[in-house]
Amino acid sequence: MPCPYCHRWRVRLLGLLLMLTTAVHANIPRWFELAPGEPSLYISGTIRYLNLEGGLYVIRDVRGTHYHPVNLPPAFEQDGLAIEALARLREDSPTSGMVGLRIELLHIRRASRLE
């Protein structure tokens, strides 16, 4: 015969696990889709404002590579903001500030942390 107390503990443990799982997933930033297509780059880095030719925003990744996004949303135009992005290279025209590789962002989100 099953123990009635064991069943209660299992139900409580299951409820606690469900609550913890929901809390963990609530803190993961969501992706913003900016353009359709297949990404060729995953970028984990920081938004930087450069005061060149009227000012521009670039992304500096954790390896030190600079990227110049052609479609950075205004909500992400914050110097020092940690982000993750999926992008593709744009080799059709040079950047206005001649800084970094020109990219088109496909998806972007605030990073929970940079590694």
Burial class (CB in 10 A: 0-12, 13-18, 19+), 44: middle
Q: How many residues does the chain have?
A: 115
Walk along the chain (115 residues) and give the pLDDT tens digit of each residue: 556 556 666 666 666 665 655 555 555 567 667 667 777 899 999 999 999 878 899 999 999 999 999 999 999 999 999 999 999 998 776 655 578 899 999 999 999 765 5
What's the CATH code, domain 32-110? Answer: 2.40.50.500
Q: Which residues pair with 84 in a beta bridge?
A: 44, 109
Angle in degrees, CA 65, 69, 98, rounded to 5:
65
Count of C-beta atoms within a 10 Å radius of residue 67 = 22
pTM: 0.66
